[in-house]
Amino acid sequence: MKTILITGCSSGFGLETARYFLDRDWRVIATMRTPRQDVLPHSDHLRVLALDVTDPDSIRRAVQEAGPVDVLVNNAGIGMLNALEGTPMEVTRAVFETNTFGTMATIQAFLPQFRQRGSGVIVNVTSSVTVKSLPLLSVYTASKSAVNAFTESLALELEPFGIHVRLVLPGRSPETRFGENANSRRGEFPDAYAALAQSIFDRWQASTETLTSPRDVAEAVWRAATDPSCPIRLPAGADAVKWAQEAQNA
């Protein structure tokens, strides 16, 4: 029986991915900054661990407590929706600390066991806004685009050791807390950008485009974890697939 460790499992994509792998008889280590056993079904194959990807001591403890892991999924992330002009630099740094440096630090901590074993899969969950640029998401997009570039280079670096590295790029999802956690840290929104913001929100509300569900992301992570022949980039959700195709044909 294989073991998967997933970061950011308190809600959204991480929570659904944990459920998905539990249903398929994997050992699941679901990590959260504040562990909550009640959000996941009871299972002898489930462990819930504390992990703050911005805290080196927390990462070290999680590696020790987890033991051998076959698949590492870096899903923990925070949203950021604001014009750059209204985004305090401390907020920008916080976004990068979680979305970019947190991913790097977690991978670095787990790599020795993967390399020594000569196997393993690392899946980094980023975003399709790295494929289709949108306004008011410049800081968030930059933090996720950095992970894309990092992942593609790391895949070449780790290939000689039998370690596969993959990217899952979700589209826009109404079923996650992105908007909620983006608004909680964005700072003051500049009045000069209000008309632009309203036009974007109106367009989103009027859109009939099929959006991404947490299940779409869980299925993409499953493929990344279990199919050695899959491409390095896996769009997750109908909108993400559409955006990826448009980018490829541009």
For 240, residues 6+ apart whose C-beta sits below 8 A from its C-beta are 128, 131, 169, 170, 171, 212, 216
* Residue carrying structure tokens 């980023």: 126
* Class of the CATH domain delimited by 3-249: alpha beta
Q: What is the pLDDT of residues 215-249, one digit of tens each?
A: 999 999 999 999 999 999 999 999 999 999 988 88
How does strand 71-74 pair with strand 163-170?
unpaired
Q: What is the pLDDT of residues 107-135, one digit of tens each?
A: 999 999 999 999 999 999 999 999 998 99
Closest alpha carbon to 236 in 214, 209, 213, 217: 217
Q: What is the pLDDT of residues 144-158, one digit of tens each?
A: 999 999 999 999 999
Q: What is the pLDDT of residues 171-196, one digit of tens each?
A: 998 765 655 555 555 568 899 999 99
The tally of CA atoms less than 13 A away on the side-chain side of residue 28 is 29
Q: What is the pLDDT of residues 30-39, one digit of tens each?
A: 999 999 888 9
Q: Where are the domains of the chain?
A: 3-249
Residues identified as active-site: 140
Q: What is the pTM of this model?
A: 0.94
pLDDT band at 55, cuts 50/70/90?
very high
